[in-house]
Structure 1
Amino acid sequence: MSHDQDHSQDHTHDEVSKEQCVDYLERIVYFIDKELDEADCAAVQLHLDTCNPCLVKYDLQRTVKSVVARSCSETAPSDLRERVLFKLRAVQVQITES
């Protein structure tokens, strides 16, 4: 087998791996939220245990979700809420008039 053929097979393997990773990355959010059944959880966990790039993305997703969750527990000051609602109504009026 020539070096070019060997490289071609590696390229195909990389493409298959990337496609598998895309599938697992789509399920990571559900995995973090514990919304997968046991079989899917086990499959995602196994993939994360063997795929460092996906594990890094999983850790990032988990961190972002945690930060957002903490941030969402605070209530906006009433004057800010009123300004935002006013802007939303103005946009609704503009859309309605268009």
Structure 2
Amino acid sequence: MSCGDNHETDCSEVLAEVWLFLDNECDKGRKELLKQHLDECSPCLAEYGIDEHLKELLAKKCGGDHAPEALKERLRATIRKTVVEQGGVSVEVTRAQVETRKTQ
């Protein structure tokens, strides 16, 4: 997309990086260039506004949800099993100690 005006930063670059700008994930210099472009370019500012509202909506509707503890435990168990299988070790749990040894 291009508004037809000549800007220091091209419209397509700004729109490609608008999420980095919204998330404060670009360096200070780049952030200033993007902000300057948005201040000068109405079409990009309108697109930025849409993205900003979408981000706020997603955060409002999806933010704050936490995985149930049972799911976390299943994931941990699966990760442990995968590590053991790929690492070629066996794990034996006894009453007083845990032993690991390399399997052949």
Q: Give the TM interval when normalised to the shorter protein.
A: 0.5 to 0.7
The question of 1:24 aligning with 2:4 is answered no
Give the corresponding residue for 2:39.
49
Question: What TM-score does the superposition give when structure 1 sets the normalisation length?
Answer: 0.56
CA drift at 1:20: 1.1
Report SS of the residue matched to 2:26: coil
Counterpart in 1 of 2:53? Answer: 63
Runs of 4+ with >4 A deviation = none
- Shift in Å, 1:15: 8.4
Give deviations 1:37-88, integer Å, cap 9, x for gaps.
Answer: 000000000000000000000011000000011110375xxxxxxxxxxxxx
Deviation string, structure 1 residues 8-33 (Cα, Å, up to 9, x no partner): xxxxx93866x910111011100000
Structure 1 portions without partners, runs of 5+:
1-12, 76-98
Residue 62 of structure 2 is aligned with which of 72, 89, 94? 72
- The structure with more strand, counted as a fraction of residues: 2
- Superposition RMSD on alpha carbons, in Å? 2.8
Instruction: Say if 2:23 is the partner of 1:33.
Output: yes
TM-score, normalized by length of structure 2?
0.53
The structure with the larger Rg is 2
Higher relative contact order, structure no. (Cα contacts within 8 Å, ≥ 6 residues apart) = 1
Share of identical aligned residues, percent? 27
